[in-house]
Copies of this chain bind each other. A is one copy, B any other.
Amino acid sequence: MSGPSKGQVLTRSIEDYLKAIYELEQDGSPAQTSAIAGALDVAPPSVSGMVKRLSEAGLLQHVPYRGVQLTEEGRKAALRMVRRHRVVETYLTTKLGYDWDSVHEEAERLEHAVSDELIERMAMALGSPRYDPHGAPIPSRDGAIEQQSFVALADVPVGDVAELRMVSDKDAERLRFIGSLGLKPGVSFEVLARQPFRGPTTIGLTAAPSKEQVIGHELAESLLCVVVEREVG
């Protein structure tokens, strides 16, 4: 009785694997063993072992040496975890005064301990928010998630006006730094200059035009934006 069945009891480990695999799959290709291992901070053989169990449980498909892909059931379970994680982050930030750089760690644990009912009560208390504090979309109860396409700040042409939409929540220090620049989802700015050879980008915040910020290339690659106003030229 280990095949694909409904109402599985998923352990904390399994939930974290599914969520990590879901996120790795987002860039199109199957999730690879070493990438999963890196995301979860475990050794590659541990991943091979878990992948075997998850594929026997019908949560993913494994092509040896090629990677894994979630099944419909696995994707549903993963999206449930993503919803939990992001609702918890939003609740802690909005209702309990957490900073956006410290919620991820707390949510990483709480996501496994909260009941569906608690998540729905939190979402209700927040007015069913659509985005978490880092700009990531919150899947609906039934697993629908907004698919977005962004441009990294590093790729926004000089002269354009853009709005920051989303930032990875994984690195607390980076979040603190981004925040110290006055940047968070929803803030818009003009791209004033960019140095060649993967050099820094200079932006001017729309809200405080006097304040210019210089942003290194690597950081600019992690700031996901939409272009609001294209330079007339």
**The stretch of A15-23, A24-32, A41-49, A105-113 that contacts the partner chain:** A105-113
Copies per complex of this chain: 2
The stretch of A114-122, A166-174, A223-231 that contacts the partner chain? A114-122
The answer on a CB contact under 8 Å between B110 and A96 is: no
A106 touches B118 (CB 8 A): yes
| A115 and B106 within 8 A (CB) | yes
Known interface pairs A112-B113, A113-B112, A113-B113; A121-B106 also in contact (CB < 8 Å): no
Q: Are A96 and B121 in contact (CB under 8 A)?
A: yes
Residue of B nearest to A109 (CB): B113
With A and B bound together, what is the CA distance between A96 and B115 in angstroms?
A: 13
A7 within 8 A of B: no
Residues of B with C-beta under 8 A to A125: 95-96
Report chain B residues within 8 Å CB of A121. 96-98
Q: Bound complex: CA of A42 vs CA of B165, how far in Å? A: 49
Query: Is the CB of A183 closer than 8 A to any CB of chain B?
Result: no
Residues on B with beta carbons closer than 8 Å to the beta carbon of A118: 92, 96, 106
Minimum CB–CB distance for A11 against chain B, Å: 11
Is the beta-carbon distance between B114 and A110 smaller than 8 angstroms? yes
Q: Which of B95, B97, B113 contacts A110 (CB 8 A)?
A: B113
* CB interface residues, A 67-107, toward B, < 8 Å: 92, 95-98, 102, 105-106
Among A102, A105, A106, A122, chain B packs the most CB atoms within 10 A around the CB of A106
Nearest 4 CB-CB pairings of A with B:
A113-B113, A109-B113, A96-B121, A110-B113
14 residue pairs bridging A and B, Cβ less than 8 Å apart: A92-B118, A95-B95, A95-B125, A96-B121, A96-B122, A96-B125, A98-B121, A102-B117, A106-B117, A109-B113, A109-B114, A109-B115, A110-B113, A112-B113
